Structure 1
Amino acid sequence: MIITVTLNPAIDISYRVNNFNINKGHRVENGLKTAGGKGLNVSRVLKQLGEQSLCLGFLGGQNGKWIKKRLEMDGMEQSFTTITEETRTCLAIIDEDHSTQTELLEKGPNVSEEEKERFLETFNQQLKKAKLIIASGSLPLGLEPSFYKEICKLVKEENIPFFLDTSGESLKLGIEGSPFLIKPNQEELSQFAGKELMKIEEMVEVAVKICNQGVQNVLLSLGENGAMLVRKDTILKADIPTIPVVNPVGSGDSMIAGMAYSINNGFDLKESLRMACACGMANAMEAKTGFVQPEIIKQLLSEINITTL
């Protein structure tokens, strides 16, 4: 079983607005409302790939109840820790005319020490059944930036692969836990390195250094330029075809799902990278977040070229 950890989930609401302008009112169609959070997107895509997963994390208030019910309707297994404060809401405004996306992201609830301990108790119980763990997204208030590093150590003690997809201080400290895989994009890795947006060559150089610190795989998300998988002794580059992008939100999560599916089913590195890219692209071609169509993935797989650098 694959476990996904979403510590700061949200109700995601997206609006499509033509010619969006600040200080101007806009009449829009009803927003698309989804149970959001990077780990939930991963679980949703895994299910579409035929791989069941278990969702862990924190849910609170009426928003938390809505997410729980939504996941139940989608047939997704879950064992969330209930908290006192309200689960957050995040808003995205997509302007197709200008190809822009504006996001308003709430920080989220404050998790108490007692709630944290209850989560860790659940996590340790479920860990015994897991083959792979994926922790994604930001941390809610109340959890120290080293929390991902803490749970990474628990996972490594059981000799289970741990995927980490986060940013900022949580990524920096999480790397110290030597996860099996991290998936930074250009902005996240540049922030980690303390530089302006890096070129691909610079990103690879930083990724190699991270691998020398104990991380086994660095999956670099490069947007329309494809992706790279960096290991101590191997660098793979994926070149992807041009696609009609409808909604890129959740494409990184879909990449993680594709990689997790591949590793869990014994794919080699090249095929794992190919599958990760196909899933990310398939998501970008859909209006829904964290949604892929297997027949589209199958078509894209034949159009992705993997080379060893």
Structure 2
Amino acid sequence: MILTVTLNPAIDVSYHVQHFQIGHGHRVENGNKTAGGKGLNVSRVLQQLNSEVLCTGLLGGSTGTWIKNQLDSVNLMHDFLEITGETRTCLAMLDPIAGTQTELMERGPTISKEEVERFRDHFKHLCQKANIVIASGSMPKGMPSPFYQEMGEITRELHIPFLLDTSGNALTEGIEGRPFLIKPNEMELRAYVGRELSNEEEMLEAAKIICNKGVQYVLLSLGSKGAILVGQENILKAEIPEMEVKNPVGSGDSMLAGMAYALQQGFSISKSLAFACACGMANAVEEQTGYVEKVVVEKLVPQVKVTPLNEGR
């Protein structure tokens, strides 16, 4: 079973707004509401790939109840810790004419020290059921910044691969826990090393620095340019074909879900990268956030070109 952790879930509301302009009013159709947060996007995609998945994290208030009801409606298993604060709501304005995406993301509730301790015990208990753990997204206020590091240490003691997708201090601290894999984008990688990365060679060097800290793989998401997977022994580049994008929200989460699924299935690392990219592509061609059709993913896998980059290095 794959355990997904969403410490700061949300109700995600997206609107399609043609010619969106700051400072102007826009009449729109009813927004598309989903149980969101990066970890829940990952969870849905894993379910769509027919993988057994259990969602956990922190939920509270009427917003949290709505999210639980949504997960129940699609038979997605969950075991969240109830908190006193109100789970957040996030908005996304998608302009199909300009091809832009504007997001407003609430920070979320403040977690008490007692709730942190309760979740730590809850997480340790759930890990006993898992063979892969994925933690995604930001941490709410009150959650100690080294908490992802703790999760990495807990899962490593249990010999469970830990996949981490976060940013900022949470990523910096999380790397110290030596997760099996992290999935930064270019901006997050630049922020981690504290300097501009002007070319592919500099990005690879930055990823190698992370691998030297004990991380097995850095999955560098490059959006429409594909991805690069930097490992302690392998460096692979995945190039993807051009396609008509309907909704890019959740494509990175779908990529991470695809990688976890592929690893669980025992795919080669090259095929795992191709499968992960195909999941990201399959999400981008759908209107829904965090949604793929497995048959579409399987058709896209052969279209992903994976090339070794470390030959002769």
TM-score (norm 2): 0.97
Q: Is the 8 A contact 1:186 1:198 kept in 2?
A: no
In the TM superposition, residue 194 of structure 1 has moved relative to its aligned partner by: 1.1
Instruction: Please give the residue correspondences for 1:205-216 in structure 2 after superposition, counting only pairs within 5 Å.
Output: 205-216=205-216
The aligned counterpart of 2:28 is 28
The aligned counterpart of 2:63 is 63
In the TM superposition, residue 129 of structure 1 has moved relative to its aligned partner by: 1.2
Q: State the secondary structure of the residue aligned to 2:220.
A: strand
Instruction: Please give the residue correspondences for 1:1-309 in structure 2 after superposition, counting only pairs within 5 Å.
Output: 1-196=1-196, 198-309=198-309
1:52-100 deviation digits (Å, cap 9, x = unpaired): 2110100000000000000000111100000011000000011111111
In the TM superposition, residue 125 of structure 1 has moved relative to its aligned partner by: 1.1
Structure 1: 4+ residue segments shifted above 6 A:
none
In the TM superposition, residue 40 of structure 1 has moved relative to its aligned partner by: 0.4
Alpha-carbon distance between aligned partners in 1 of 2:130 and 2:55, rounded to the nearest angstrom? 12
Alpha-carbon distance between aligned partners in 1 of 2:198 and 2:118, rounded to the nearest angstrom? 40
Alpha-carbon distance between aligned partners in 1 of 2:229 and 2:173, rounded to the nearest angstrom? 21
Alpha-carbon distance between aligned partners in 2 of 1:185 and 1:299, rounded to the nearest angstrom? 25
1:160-188 deviation digits (Å, cap 9, x = unpaired): 10000000011011111110000000111
Deviates more, 1:20-29 or 1:58-67: 20-29
Taking only the aligned residue pairs, the percentage that are identical comes to 57
Q: Is the 8 A contact 1:52 1:76 kept in 2?
A: no
Alpha-carbon distance between aligned partners in 1 of 2:115 and 2:198, rounded to the nearest angstrom? 39
Q: Is the 8 A contact 1:43 1:52 kept in 2?
A: no
Alpha-carbon distance between aligned partners in 2 of 1:126 and 1:249, rounded to the nearest angstrom? 29
Alpha-carbon distance between aligned partners in 1 of 2:241 and 2:156, rounded to the nearest angstrom? 37
Q: Is the 8 A contact 1:190 1:198 kept in 2?
A: no
Gaps of 5+ in 1: none
Q: Is the 8 A contact 1:17 1:93 kept in 2?
A: yes
Alpha-carbon distance between aligned partners in 1 of 2:23 and 2:166, rounded to the nearest angstrom? 33
Q: Is the 8 A contact 2:9 2:58 kept in 1?
A: yes
In the TM superposition, residue 197 of structure 1 has moved relative to its aligned partner by: 5.4
In the TM superposition, residue 202 of structure 1 has moved relative to its aligned partner by: 1.4
Amino acid at match of 2:32: L
Alpha-carbon distance between aligned partners in 1 of 2:281 and 2:200, rounded to the nearest angstrom? 19
1:145-174 deviation digits (Å, cap 9, x = unpaired): 111001111111101100000000110111
RMSD of aligned Cα (Å) = 0.9
Alpha-carbon distance between aligned partners in 2 of 1:78 and 1:268, rounded to the nearest angstrom? 30
Q: Is the 8 A contact 1:234 1:308 kept in 2?
A: yes
**What is the aligned length?**
309
Q: Is the 8 A contact 1:108 1:140 kept in 2?
A: yes
Amino acid at match of 1:293: E
Alpha-carbon distance between aligned partners in 2 of 1:307 and 1:22, rounded to the nearest angstrom? 42
Alpha-carbon distance between aligned partners in 1 of 2:201 and 2:217, rounded to the nearest angstrom? 17
Alpha-carbon distance between aligned partners in 1 of 2:123 and 2:23, rounded to the nearest angstrom? 46
In the TM superposition, residue 200 of structure 1 has moved relative to its aligned partner by: 2.3
Alpha-carbon distance between aligned partners in 2 of 1:226 and 1:22, rounded to the nearest angstrom? 31
Amino acid at match of 1:59: L
Alpha-carbon distance between aligned partners in 2 of 1:239 and 1:146, rounded to the nearest angstrom? 34
Alpha-carbon distance between aligned partners in 2 of 1:266 and 1:53, rounded to the nearest angstrom? 17
Amino acid at match of 2:107: K
Alpha-carbon distance between aligned partners in 1 of 2:206 and 2:62, rounded to the nearest angstrom? 43
Q: Is the 8 A contact 1:180 1:217 kept in 2?
A: yes
In the TM superposition, residue 193 of structure 1 has moved relative to its aligned partner by: 1.2
Q: Is the 8 A contact 2:229 2:235 kept in 1?
A: yes
Q: Is the 8 A contact 2:197 2:203 kept in 1?
A: no
1:87-125 deviation digits (Å, cap 9, x = unpaired): 000000111111111100000000111111221121111
In the TM superposition, residue 196 of structure 1 has moved relative to its aligned partner by: 3.3
Alpha-carbon distance between aligned partners in 1 of 2:44 and 2:21, rounded to the nearest angstrom? 33
